[in-house]
Amino acid sequence: MTTAPSGPTPALTASLRVWPWVLTALLVVGTAAANHAVGSPSPAILGVLLATAAMLPTVLPGFGSRWGVPVGALLLTAGAFTGAYFACGYADGPIFLALPAVTFVVAISTPVAQWIRWAVPALVFVALGLAARYAWWEQDAGHQHFWQAVGAVAIVAATGAIATAARSRMDAHAERVGRAASEERLRMAQDLHDGVGHGLAVIAMQAGVALHVLDRDPAAARESLEAIRTTSKEALDALRSELATIAGEPAPRRPTAGVEAIPALVERVRSAGLAVEVIGEPGDLSPDTGAAAYGVVQEALTNVLRHSGASAAQVRWERRADRVVLAVTDDGRGGAVQDDGMGIGGMRSRVEGIGGTFRAGPGARGFEVLAEMPR
């Protein structure tokens, strides 16, 4: 199965492009105001530049890849500039948001092990910067720098965890979308196989009958040609409907055939020259069971026409308390199943999908398809 690529969704990607700029603007204004209020020992403009550089990976998330820098290394850059900011003696303020913001941007698009590997040394830089500010400028009271470092670790860990959880949800959503798309493609392929394949098998048999009786029984040849016309129209309608769906065009969905359509199906196969005997009645079945039963009869009889070389087939129903047993047998060559393919595989998936059991293989004579389904 082909899975959709992981990573931020388009809506989240647009959000990631907007909020970092807003946060960076607040960081610049807040840093300038904080250092102006306390009178930092270093030039205020340098503090603003260091704070801006720490936030740079959030507003330009692609610049690292353009220069061949690992995405996780952006965390190290943010941690280094944040640590340098504190080491220069600048005041507390919005700078504490820089590393968590970069962590979120990195963690939302990279595996856990990768961003943690870079987040640890980044936090070390921040802790060293806080320690240097305490040792060089004596701006912190007591162990304030220690608890600030602990708080930075906690905020970065929380931000990374939130981003990782969001990434996991996006990956799960992408996988569900990919699985649904694959299942829809398989359904369309199965419908094409069942409808068009059956129609072509009947057309081939009818054409053979028409050629065989063309000279000595024109009326019978005419009947075969009319059957070919009807069957080909049904097959073309099915093909157009599925192709329109694949192309994304609106197409009316054909009603799902059930047990009520099986008699017409049997008559169509009989008209192709195969003697088909029906024994028993299915009784009242749920729509899902009826659709599965129709699919089994259609594919089994199609296989008889195409592969078995049989002259006769039998469709047998057996009703039980809460189950119905459907058996389709023929007097052809039989033989073991080498590959389920879409035919037998499709019948099996239909039956097992409604809680039934399915078996296909050599019978007492010829080949046998046996399906037991809930009524």
Asked whether the beta carbons of 269 and 202 are under 8 A apart, the reply is yes
Segment 301-323 shows an average pLDDT of 81
Segment 75-87 shows an average pLDDT of 90
| Residue 1 pLDDT | 40
DSSP structure string for 257-319: P-GGGHHHHHHHHHHTT-EEEEES---S--HHHHHHHHHHHHHHHHHIIIII--SEEEEEEEE
Asked whether the beta carbons of 351 and 292 are under 8 A apart, the reply is yes
pLDDT tens digits for 291-307? Answer: 888 888 888 887 787 76
Q: How many C-beta atoms lie closer than 10 Å to residue 16's C-beta?
A: 17
pLDDT tens digits for 166-219? Answer: 888 888 888 888 787 776 666 666 666 666 666 666 676 667 666 666 667 677
| Residue 4 pLDDT | 44
Asked whether the beta carbons of 22 and 59 are under 8 A apart, the reply is no
Torsion sign, CA atoms 259, 264, 265, 269: positive
- Mean pLDDT computed over every residue of the chain: 77
Asked whether the beta carbons of 192 and 241 are under 8 A apart, the reply is no
154 token code pair:
């906690």
| Residue 194 pLDDT | 62
| Residue 280 pLDDT | 86
| Residue 346 pLDDT | 78
Residues contacting residue 198 through CB under 8 Å, at least 6 positions apart: 235, 298, 299, 301, 302
| Range with the poorest average pLDDT among 12-16, 74-78, 196-200, 367-371 | 12-16
Among residues 236, 237, 229, 297, the alpha carbon closest in space to that of 261 is found at: 297
Asked whether the beta carbons of 163 and 103 are under 8 A apart, the reply is yes
pLDDT tens digits for 264-281? Answer: 878 877 876 778 888 888
Give the percent of the chain with pLDDT over 70. 72
Segment 331-338 shows an average pLDDT of 64
Among residues 234, 242, 239, the alpha carbon closest in space to that of 199 is found at: 234
**Is residue 249 over pLDDT 80?**
no
CA distances from 149 to 8, 50, 96 (A): 30, 18, 10
- Encoded amino acid at 88, one letter: C
| Residue 123 pLDDT | 92
Angle separating helix axes 144-213 and 287-303, nearest 10 degrees: 50
Angle among Cα 175, 176, 177 to the nearest 5 degrees reads: 90
In terms of C-beta density within 10 A (0-12 exposed, 13-18 middle, 19 or more buried), how is residue 325 classed?
middle
d(CA 79, CA 119): 8
Taking domain 272-375, whether its CATH number is 2.40.30.10 is answered by no
Give the percent of the chain with pLDDT over 90. 6
**Is residue 140 over pLDDT 70?**
no
58 token code pair:
């959030």
| Residue 158 pLDDT | 92
273 token code pair:
């020259």
Any idea where the domains of the chain sit in the sequence? 10-179, 272-375
146 token code pair:
């220690």
Residues contacting residue 136 through CB under 8 Å, at least 6 positions apart: 87, 89
| Residue 126 pLDDT | 92
- Tell if the pTM clears 0.85, that is, is over it: no
d(CA 148, CA 153): 9
| Residue 81 pLDDT | 92
Instruction: Please report which confidence band the pLDDT of residue 35 belongs to, taking 50, 70 and 90 as the band edges.
Output: confident
Highest mean pLDDT among 258-272, 315-329, 361-375: 315-329
Q: How much of the chain is in helix, strand and coil states, percent to nearest 5?
A: 65, 10, 25
Torsion sign, CA atoms 154, 159, 165, 168: negative
d(CA 290, CA 285): 6
- In the block, which residue shows the tokens 């829809």? 184
Instruction: Please report which confidence band the pLDDT of residue 251 belongs to, taking 50, 70 and 90 as the band edges.
Output: low
Higher pLDDT, 14 or 157: 157
